[in-house]
Amino acid sequence: MLQTEAFEKSMLEKGASRNTLSSYRSDLSLFAAYCAEQDYEDPAELTGEQLSAYFEYLRSIGKSPATVRRARSSLSTYYTFLQKEGLTDTNPVRETKLEKSPDLQQTPQVLTHEEIDRLLDYDFGSDEKGLRDKAIVELLYASGIKISSLIALRETDYQPQTRTIYAEGRRVPLYPSANQSLLNYIRLSRPYIALSEETALFVNLQGSAMSRQGLWKMLRHAADAVGIDKNLTPRLLRRSFAVHLLENGAGPEDLEKMLGLSDKASVAGYVKLMKDSETIDTYTRFHPRAAKRH
């Protein structure tokens, strides 16, 4: 029997969005029906092999690759919940792999709004590393800045009073939850891990400036944890930031301003991505999370 109510309550307490909760509910309902059909008395005891068979079953009944990936993400989150509750020793979903859809590389990838919700709703943890990683992911999607710009940030580049960071030669606004995540990191994490002489805003656990490799490794781990099969990089988050702004009504001129672009061809490329993608003051108006108050 699935612990659906307790799971949803846990996700609500962690601030999961309404859309994310709806997805969890739908995915777990389908999984519960499958378990009943297979006479699985306790889903908490299922193995990675049995879950792989479930994902194959979803494909066999015509579920799209995106739906199967979402189902895997939901179950991974659910089994992590069971682990924390002491109802299972392992997360068997992590033993499963999904085949890449051959059409994923035809055009540059963009994260869907649901994938963004899953990523930003993910529980990175309340320790120093978790607070840092949460702040980095929120900041990348909130600002659309490049990896080199994020690594170059200094503590003094952040202005909590105006909810902005100074990057790439301009002041970049932050939506509320991104600003709060950055504040949490600066107050509750960075003072305990940064070397006294280090001026970089984001530091590794040894106290020195964060590296590209460390950042990419963290993003890959987060993508795996929430079931995102796309190659999660700062560039993908920047691209998703741009496309989602356009989807919400921003114009090319707004995009130039918010991304600091001077190349018209780059803006045109983002506009084309918006039209081709499956997810078919300015910042507050257009950023999809600007109105959220977590």
Domain of residue 33 covers: 4-95
Domain count, the chain: 2
Let me know whether 122 and 58 are in one domain: no
User: Are the C-beta atoms of 280 and 271 separated by less than 8 Å?
Assistant: no
The residue ranking higher by pLDDT, 270 or 217, is 217
Active site residues: 238, 283
User: Are the C-beta atoms of 35 and 79 separated by less than 8 Å?
Assistant: no
Q: What is the pLDDT of residue 105?
A: 45
Tokens of 46: 């299922």
Is residue 277 over pLDDT 60? no
Summarize pLDDT for 108-139 with one digit per residue, the tens. Answer: 688 988 889 989 999 899 999 999 999 999 99
105 located within any domain = no
Let me know whether 120 and 249 are in one domain: yes
User: Are the C-beta atoms of 184 and 294 separated by less than 8 Å?
Assistant: no
Let me know whether 239 and 124 are in one domain: yes
Tokens of 283: 């910042």
Q: Which secondary structure element, helix H or strand E, spans residue 167, and what is its range?
A: strand 164-167
Per 3-state DSSP, what percentage of the chain is helix, strand, and coil (rounded to 5)?
60, 5, 35
Q: What is the pLDDT of residue 283?
A: 56
Summarize pLDDT for 43-55 with one digit per residue, the tens. Answer: 888 999 999 999 9
Let me know whether 79 and 118 are in one domain: no
CATH code of the domain containing 61 = 1.10.150.130
DSSP of 170-193, one letter per residue? EEEE--HHHHHHHHHHHHHTHHHH
291 located within any domain = no
User: Are the C-beta atoms of 88 and 82 separated by less than 8 Å?
Assistant: yes
Among 62, 95, 128, the domain-final residue is 95
